Amino acid sequence: MTSLVVLDLSFNDLEGPLPATLGHHFKHSPLRELYLSDNFLTQLSLEKILPQLSELVVLDVAGNYLNGVITEAHLQNFTRLKVLDLSLNELILNASSNWIPNFQLESINLGNCQMGPRFPQWPQNQNRILKLDMSNASISGTVPDWFWYISSSMEHLFLHYNQLRGELPNLSSKVTLLTLVISGNEFEGHLPQFPSTIETLNLFNNQFSGSLPDCRTYGQILVYLSLAYNQLSGKIPESIGHLINLKWLFLNYNSLSGEIPQSLQSCTSLVVLALGKNALSGSIPTWLGESFKNLQGISLHHNAFEGNTPVQLCQLRHLNYLDFSFNLLSGPIPLCIHNFLQMVGKEGEHSVHSLDASYTKDELKSQMWIWSSVKYGPLFKTMDLSHNMLSGEIPREVTSLIGLTHLNLSYNYLKGSYSLLYWGHEIVVLSRFIKQPAFWHYSSQRF
């Protein structure tokens, strides 16, 4: 292998340790790119192998079971390195505060590496970064001011699941930024301005307060927006309709009030709409079923919606998650619910995971945070209408929803004789008694 330039063994079933002499075999070869990601490699002593691979431009060992401590001494001879991916292992990256690397990285993937508790200083000297991932890295404290401006070409930034604090600066000048994920931290204050180029914005589970800003500042290419689990208040602005390419919208678990703005129906690409656990009121708009042909998940639980459940919702043929629990809804359950083909089980598996076939392998790895952050499993097909004031007979059409894994109609004014329904491998009992809780409830966290 004296002329080998690229070696890609990723996404196989390789297991066990690799020999510590691995790098020795390539020491005098032109090898520049090494991919070993997504295998079952263990006990790979990187600190012994790395000095022998110092001519590499790309080093990718993500998604294995590697452990050990890596210091700047193991990386000091690397001068050509542009891509470093150590993510999703059990590695510790221990670099001193005065370390200045001899390389300039374009892609830094250190998610799940232990780098804290202090915020690392060495990225300050990396000014060509396109992608930086320091998620779940046990970093705490306030983010230094210099960090937000280290690279004028930054496109993707992931800092989620640390213990980071402080207020976000005005990021509108970061015109190259496409992805910002800082969920699961302790950032606070009002929402700042973001660049109009942003495509993915995930601020889930922080301490942001105040009202939602004018959505026109986000630009029209925003696809994913999560502001869930914060302390936001006020009304959802009419400018939400400006986000015509939005597919995922998570505003749940805040203190938002008022009605669902009519302008939202302009967001015809919506796949998931999560507004649960707020103080929203009014009726459920009929256009939810008329405008969103691709909607797969809708969550309005724990609000103050009233009136009937609109029959137009039955037009949502791809719907596999519906949660209207803990509202003031009245009237009957629509007879047309058998039109939910996902719940009936007449459609092939069509989950939000597979909507964007345009993702590359590297981009798909970075999308894993979406589902871990929103606690939404699209494989758990759910209908929850509990804790309302629904009345009338439980429609026989419910028995056609054999694709459901979770059903909850408890705490309503529904009536009828006992029905024993075979739900795949589950048995669900719907009681004829008023205000009686069903004995089976799902335990997965709502979104």
Domains in the chain (CATH in brackets) are 1-114 (3.80.10.10), 212-447 (3.80.10.10)
pLDDT number for residue 214: 92
**What pLDDT, on a 0 to 100 scale, did the predictor assign at position 16?**
85
Torsion, Cα 338 343 346 349, to 10 degrees, reads: 160
Tokens of 198: 């942003």
The model's pTM is: 0.88
**In whole angstroms, what is the distance from residue 53 CA to residue 45 CA?**
13
Burial class (CB in 10 A: 0-12, 13-18, 19+), 396: exposed
| Residue 296 and residue 381 in contact, taking contact as beta carbons nearer than 8 Å | no
Are the C-beta atoms of 394 and 419 separated by less than 8 Å? yes
Which residue intervals of 292-391 are DSSP H helices?
Answer: 341-344, 361-366, 368-374
Give the per-residue pLDDT at 380: 74
Tell me the CA distances in angstroms from 2 to 5, 6, 24, 49, one per residue in order: 9, 12, 12, 18
> What is the C-alpha to C-alpha distance for residues 52 and 69, in angstroms, rounded to an integer?
17
Alpha carbons 230 and 167: distance in angstroms, whole number: 14
What per-residue confidence (pLDDT) applies to 61? 93
Q: C-alpha dihedral over 96, 98, 101, 104, to 10 degrees?
A: 120
Rounded Cα gap, residues 146 and 47, in angstroms: 30
Res 20: pLDDT? 65
Query: Which residue bears the tokens 């029209």?
Result: 220
Structure tokens at 100: 């200045």
Block means of pLDDT (10 residues each) for the chain, 447 residues, are 85 83 68 93 76 91 91 92 96 92 96 95 95 97 94 95 96 94 97 93 97 89 96 97 96 98 96 97 96 95 97 94 97 93 71 42 45 47 95 90 91 72 40 35 49
Rounded to an integer, what distance in angstroms lies between the CA atom of residue 21 and that of residue 28?
13
Note the pLDDT of residue 23: 64
